Amino acid sequence: MVEDSEIKTTVSPFAMREGEMKVFDGKDGYVSMNQILQKINVGHINEVHFKILELINKFEFLTSRQIFQLLQLDNIEIKDQDKLNKKLEQLLNNKIITRYYFTSTAGNGVFRIYCMEKMGKYLLNSREIDCKWQPSDNAKPVEMIKKKLAGNQLVIAYMRKVKNFRSCQLKPAIVAKRLSKTFKPVARIDLAYRTSEVSIVYEVVRRNEGWEEKLIDRMRLWQDFYSNFVPGDSGFRMMPQLVFLCEDKKHMAEVFKVIYTHGFKFDKINFYYSTDLEQNDASLENSLYEFVIEDGKFKIKIIDAKILKPKEEEGN
């Protein structure tokens, strides 16, 4: 598999494209549970297939590359991407999972997105594995799926590369107490820091139609959370750091402009920013940015995030 740092592209695959649509690329027809059970009994569907199914259940939407990286993290031996694709095809043909791709005025997307199907839920439930999937989940619009894919790629990057990584929680529930609303950023990641832990929450922003207004609404919820925070709120012992995951550096500036011009500034918390492609670097120490005033103008500044030092340094 090509390493993240060897990927040569200037545009995130999870960035929004003009006129983008989601296209079904799964299998039509009917497959009975008896047919699936027969394939399990003869070993055509095995524990590796079930592990893939568990990962898709947990992360909701995944590319085959992301699935391969997650299997590697779990020490599941699959020789290469082609071997994985064959197993995904088996799950697909038995309607245990399904698949989509994106198309736009610029052409078809270069990757496929895998997600749950009804038979997959039945199989997980048979093993007493919680599966909250419902058919309407696969009807989510392009921007929601791309947010999830970008967030999943960030989480996988931290799991693979960051020495201080301790745990992650996908879509953690955050409570805005005064507004009486619960909202869910894409992920919470906990990092070891000296004798304690630091929590980071990630808000993914895409350039979908009306994104600025949606960001303003979201910031009101974050403002409520931070302004009224006491230890223990939403499961945090201390205020978490908020990071905005954007499509590219120009988009970072656009997000910052929306936040700044609408007066969102929280005590004791600086807003940090990152992009999808920053997660491809071998080290994530320079993957975070902030906007600072220099000579009367806002400029982008790299955060020297030693807490994100790579695993390779462990023996140093």
Q: Which CATH number covers residue 176?
A: 3.40.1350
Residue 240 is classified by DSSP as P
Residue 310 is classified by DSSP as B
Residue 106's pLDDT is 83
Does 248 share its domain with 235? yes
Residue 239 is classified by DSSP as P
Residues 255, 275 contacting (CB under 8 angstroms): no
Residue 316's pLDDT is 45
Question: What 3-state DSSP class applies to 148?
Answer: helix
Residues 184, 203 contacting (CB under 8 angstroms): no
Question: What 3-state DSSP class applies to 1?
Answer: coil
Q: Per DSSP, which regions of the chain are E strands?
A: 21-24, 97-104, 107-108, 113-116, 165-170, 174-176, 181-183, 187-193, 196-204, 241-246, 272-275, 289-294, 297-302
Q: What is the mean pLDDT of each run of 10 residues along the chain (316 residues)?
A: 78 95 94 96 96 98 97 92 96 97 88 96 97 96 98 98 97 98 98 94 97 98 97 97 98 97 92 97 97 93 96 57
Does 165 share its domain with 127? no
Residue that is last in its domain, among 121, 140, 159: 140
Residue 315's pLDDT is 46
In the structure encoding, which two tokens stand for residue 316, read together? 């140093």
- Amino acid identity for residue 167 in this structure: S
Q: What is the CATH number of the domain that holds 71?
A: 1.10.10.10
In the structure encoding, which two tokens stand for residue 80, read together? 């290469």
Enclosing domain of residue 254: 145-315
Residue 1's pLDDT is 67
